[in-house]
Chain A
Amino acid sequence: MYTDKVMDHFSNPRNAGVIENADGIGEVGNPVCGDMMAFYIKVKDDKLDDVKFQTFGCVAAIAVSSIVSEMAKGKSLKEAKLITKKTVTESLDGLPKEKMHCSNLGAEALAKAIKDYETKISE
Chain B
Amino acid sequence: MSTVAVEVVYRGIFQKSLARNIVRNIVFAARKDGKIGTAFGRYGDSPERNGIPAKQFAVVADNAEELEETLAQYEPTEVDVTINVDDTLCKGVESWAWYGLQPINQLTKPGGTLIVTSRQDADSLIRDMHQKDSPIGLSILKSTVSFSGLWVYKDDHTDVRVLGNLCNVCPQLVSLKSMLETIREQTGSETKVASAQKAYDTATIRQVEPGEGNPEIPYSFVLPGWKEMQEGVVIKAIEAGGGFRGGEGGYQPVRNEVFKKYSTRSMRPVINFETCIKCTLCWLQCPDTCFDVTPDGLYDANMESCCGCGVCEAVCPVPDCVTMVGEAEFEDNNSQWEMWQKDKEGYNSWMTLLVDKQKSETRTHGFHHVGGYAEEIANTEEVS
Tell whether A and B belong to one assembly: no
> Which residues from chain A sit less than 8 Å from chain B, CB to CB?
none
> Which residues from chain B sit less than 8 Å from chain A, CB to CB?
none
